[in-house]
Structure 1
């Protein structure tokens, strides 16, 4: 909902979501079509209608200052029939009554708007349900007079109007307050004002901005403050602060609290009229993980929509809704915290959550922004990780063993469709030919020439069969059926959009065990529409060089700006040395162990203290650490281990005490290579014994070839740039503040090459080891 020129504006769908939902939350198995499938379904239905059929018909109307607008799916003037099209899978009998009531509410509101606009006395209203698996339509219709529809429309508007007026008052109070927002510290840190100015300009010019800003200048508050300042001046409806990891959410919430969004009763501070919501994963918010999401199983789902209005009102009154506060409100009103958070995302000014909430195919925030026409501004923290995160969002893989096991225990109705999948999988393995020879014990890998169409077809039929089966057996079904169905649906949806941005591969682990992967290589094709839909977007990180790499692979608009914030650190703070007499290439690693140990021990003797040493693999790390302990037992050493649990990670970091001494061994690109803060003498140096290059394997070679074909920079984009981003991130652990001093030793002769040095920070003064 937005307010403009003294009028409140709301979309038809948002209006009905607010006024027409009642009863239980019911999330029993209801696999919904993808957005692409939904669009295709609407096109299919419109194509079946005759000439003169008006598809995607814009309609609007008003009631006492409330403007309601939307697009009706279709209208046939000759039959005077208005249609609302809903795509689905499986048996319609599974649809909850309150969901059907919501659909009727939507078509009745559209009917009222149509009758008012075209001066109709009556109209036929139809709900058209299209089964995307079969293409079969099920139509439900009713005749309605204009007077009946006008009364229904006015009733919905009256139910919403008090909320709309409250929201308008909140928007005005929020904007008035943000006009007076001041920076919460006496002065900006070096570089922080430059960062803030760039963020404000991006919002003012409605552009995307890539901003590379060094660690330690306060990027979180340096981006939130200017964007909040721009909010009333640029008419922004919402801000989303998107993070890669949970600690990033906490930093954003802490910054918002310093800006007054939380208030403090303890210190007599009033809370700003700014609603802040923390979105968390369903698995972390669920109060009853042993129960399914419907009223018959979960007490927080029973009567959810009946209790939602009071919970929603209490939540927006509270305003500060981090995970703990949201849970408190939800449990006080006996509703599910996760789904209350999903509802409140529509009504909060600033949302803090993971990047998948906007960039994933089913991202909640993107969907709301599109449905409600938000002027949305995005802040993406640690944006150097977005390429790999987005690749994962638009990739899928299937394990042959899972489907074979299910086939052996399947109910009779699913034996044939599962058998078809098993046979097509076996045929695919045979057609791929003999497994290429590789290292003993390693799986055989090959890139397929294209999609395995027959396997995809079998998976589509299986998905339809499982959907029907679960519809007929809503309780007591094997959870594995749902897991395999979701996997098959995800794979088939990505197959529908397969192109040169992705590849399909086959990994053979042994007889009867292979994995088929559909892997995204260039997320730009999926992300470009997401960036275009935002009013402005700021991607910030300490490592966003070179700009063209991120522009190309993320699909940023051509007009996107680039900013490199001057480092507040000087070359005197960080001694950077290249140990060019050592090669860490795979073939040279055995020979490199002794000289690396000598380098570590020599630096430690010269300046005892806490150091981090990064390696390309656990095997390499373990070999060097074993030799260090053998040759220099007096030097304390501890190591990251495979599959380290959170308590073990905390213990690893706890060894870096102020005034402490020793060397912690870690893997580059792992948990300790970014996102940790060891200021002062908790860490005085780092050794990086690798360029961080991805392995030269068939997958990365295929990635290189694809990126070379598309961008002409295959080697840089597949290997060199991603590797050196990891190096710079790891090096950034050493200098965390203006008083820090430290040493960085880059161990590999390739660090001396010109094209490698050009990708390292300009403020580093590179010296050679003697």
Structure 2
């Protein structure tokens, strides 16, 4: 259905405008029903309550549904779920007015043509009483189980104490700020350095707010599997302290699927076929026996009940008190959990871990691209199709051809359009409508069907983006090896993120590297009234020995300075033996320096990150740091990559980190669009597009080193720009004083190194 919420509301208002003077619209209804001694309350707002007139003998409940499908493609009697909704309104009306009969009408309106189809049924009070009784009987076991669980949960929360012996430095302040944010119903932007214990410091006060009735549920969102695991561990620890609370972890469909290939069609997947027939029993079993619903738990129950594990986990999320998952389950309009109604959102808190990662992820979520080749393929595959798919695809392909002709040769392959083509929304709407009609027909050609589905989702989302188009977006026609593409890019996700979070009770954005705090508050959709908190490091200054080698690692200077860099890294591992991670801005640079360091033949084992590492390879890389052999290691890794954040190597597992360069994102036309947009908005475009994101990777990489009060280590920064603004101002206080090593000045030995002492190397 291509109709947006705004379009659907407009169509509702259009139909309601034709009601008579005695008719009522948007009527709130409420009634109660008892079952086995329990009282159930139903309430809702019906679209229309129509008075008797010459055309109808009795009061009529009107339920309006907008659709982009052809009206003759809908079921002859309408959809059962629509009738069920309308019957509930009808029953509530009869209870309120003590009447014996009512008419119930489904009104379908086609979004493009405005055509209307109405289906009317009359129902007696006895018929609707029987319908409600059956509905309540089916729902009652679940409702009673939920009611018992909430009582147990709230009682356990009231007895729950902080699950550690005491608060670390900064933890009490962070927990208090989070709790106050929930009370005030606003956003909090918190910079909490490594060692603060951010996971438990945000979860514990949020759980307490649920027990006090301030909240009903929470979302804990992150971009990394490791931080999801930390949240699971926090709930496990609180459960050991007596907490009775349901949490579910959401995992990507591709990872959960039991099939060799993801194919969700009922005829291809036994777990999809009959899913809803088996769902209720599966949910009652899961919720009746489990509290921490991790991936492994979800998979076990899904196999037992033969249901799709991914869809099963989503259903469990709606029943859980806490949901742990990726950012996209809340922020991405294409895959978000949409069935949280307004009242639930107003009682829900959102905790966004490692929030610095959300900036670029949000830009991706609110961007899309359209492929000329896919429309051309669909034009050929569906030529003459009765639904008009081929014709609609042909029109979009023709638009691409016309666009290409307007691009000067010197502007290729990346041409920024002044605006999206005027004809694009209508052409996309026609294509989506035709595709939706085609989906109602069986297609034996799986490849063609999959191509249509991919183009449908891309086109539908592009249509929705165009509805909110303004200066925050850019349209780019790009020629690549894969063909010609129209890219609709989000340059500034702040307003979109703000619109997502404003419906929730509270949102907490937190990270060790939310620096500068004002930048992140602005880009993540905050406002001046939102709370802010910046905590100092909980660690002592003497735990870290920070040094700077001030020579250039700029691309143009690397040939000149690479020999010196390799020599200095070799000097570091010889002078201060231990376990190191060396972070580079690119694989090419990494491999170049690695080959040169190897020539020195240092007494160190090298581990190397490479592009496309499998999960097993990543685990093997980190496992070398976890052993207790005392083997000197030097891991060569990518700044901002999988080893650059959210890993914990405490004690002697990691004794040194070197960060080479200031982490600037690769120069390119897309980043330049962000830079130019920010400059036009009155900001420092280079800092917003390049310096701030780059330094965040530097701070994350350096933050791998000191994780506990017992850790000691060496941090080596390599780049002369660290002496210049804004880079120097962004360095954290715990990295000061920064010892600058001039040319020829040796790296001083660290005789007090715990690694050296323990291994008898002094």
Q: 1:200 aligns with which of 173, 179, 184?
A: 179
Higher mean alpha-carbon deviation, 517-526 vs 305-314, is at 305-314
Higher mean alpha-carbon deviation, 625-634 vs 680-689, is at 625-634
Relative to structure 1, is the Cα distance of residues 598 and 334 closer, same or farther in structure 2, using a 3 angstrom cutoff? closer
Relative to structure 1, is the Cα distance of residues 526 and 69 closer, same or farther in structure 2, using a 3 angstrom cutoff? same
Q: How does 1:177-326 map to 2 (within 5 A)?
A: 177-260=156-239, 272-288=243-259, 290=261, 292-293=263-264, 295-320=266-291, 321-326=293-298
Distance 1:198 1:523 in 2: 26
Q: Is contact 2:355-2:510 (8 Å) kept?
A: yes
Q: 1:420 aligns with which of 385, 395, 404?
A: 395
Distance 1:591 1:369 in 2: 60
Say whether residues 1:651 and 2:620 are aligned partners.
Answer: yes
Say whether residues 1:553 and 2:493 are aligned partners.
Answer: no
Q: Is contact 2:226-2:647 (8 Å) kept?
A: no
Q: Which residue of structure 1 aligns with residue 557 of structure 2? A: 588
Q: Is contact 1:217-1:568 (8 Å) kept?
A: yes
Distance 2:75 2:205 in 1: 45
Distance 1:82 1:595 in 2: 81
Q: Which residue of structure 1 aligns with residue 716 of structure 2? A: 745
Q: Which residue of structure 2 aligns with residue 17 of structure 1? A: none
- Unmatched 5+ residue regions in structure 1? 1-30, 264-268, 437-442
Q: Which residue of structure 2 aligns with residue 130 of structure 1? A: 109
Distance 2:311 2:638 in 1: 38
Q: Is contact 1:522-1:554 (8 Å) kept?
A: no
Q: 1:68 aligns with which of 42, 56, 79?
A: 42
Say whether residues 1:101 and 2:80 are aligned partners.
Answer: yes
1:160-200 C-alpha deviation (Å, 9 max, x unpaired): 34543442232122111110002222222333222222222
Q: Which residue of structure 1 aligns with residue 464 of structure 2? A: 493
Higher mean alpha-carbon deviation, 132-141 vs 113-122, is at 113-122
1:104 Cα deviation after fit: 0.3
Q: How does 1:564-713 map to 2 (within 5 A)?
A: 564-580=534-550, 582-632=551-601, 636-656=605-625, 658=628, 659-710=630-681, 712-713=683-684
SS in 2 for 1:572: helix
RMSD: 2.8
Q: Is contact 1:276-1:319 (8 Å) kept?
A: no
Higher mean alpha-carbon deviation, 115-124 vs 724-733, is at 115-124
SS in 2 for 1:473: coil
Q: Which residue of structure 2 aligns with residue 12 of structure 1? A: none
Q: How does 1:316-465 map to 2 (within 5 A)?
A: 316-320=287-291, 321-362=293-334, 364-365=336-337, 367-370=339-342, 372=344, 375-413=347-385, 414-436=389-411, 444-465=413-434
1:646 Cα deviation after fit: 2.1
1:573 Cα deviation after fit: 1.3
Q: Is contact 1:375-1:534 (8 Å) kept?
A: yes
Higher mean alpha-carbon deviation, 177-186 vs 335-344, is at 335-344
Distance 1:373 1:496 in 2: 24
Relative to structure 1, is the Cα distance of residues 708 and 41 closer, same or farther in structure 2, using a 3 angstrom cutoff? farther
1:136 Cα deviation after fit: 2.9
Q: Which residue of structure 2 aligns with residue 440 of structure 1? A: none
Distance 2:42 2:290 in 1: 26
Say whether residues 1:538 and 2:508 are aligned partners.
Answer: yes
SS in 1 for 2:622: helix
1:282 Cα deviation after fit: 2.5
1:203 Cα deviation after fit: 2.1
Relative to structure 1, is the Cα distance of residues 313 and 415 closer, same or farther in structure 2, using a 3 angstrom cutoff? closer
SS in 2 for 1:346: helix
1:382-423 C-alpha deviation (Å, 9 max, x unpaired): 111111111111110123333334444444324433222222
Distance 1:474 1:88 in 2: 22
Distance 1:47 1:431 in 2: 45
**TM-score (normalised: structure 1):** 0.87
1:451 Cα deviation after fit: 1.0
SS in 1 for 2:502: helix
Say whether residues 1:516 and 2:469 are aligned partners.
Answer: no
Q: Which residue of structure 1 aligns with residue 441 of structure 2? A: 472
Relative to structure 1, is the Cα distance of residues 295 and 421 closer, same or farther in structure 2, using a 3 angstrom cutoff? closer
Q: Which residue of structure 1 aligns with residue 499 of structure 2? A: 529
The alignment of Structure 1 onto Structure 2 pairs a total of residues equal to 724
1:237 Cα deviation after fit: 1.0
1:272 Cα deviation after fit: 4.1
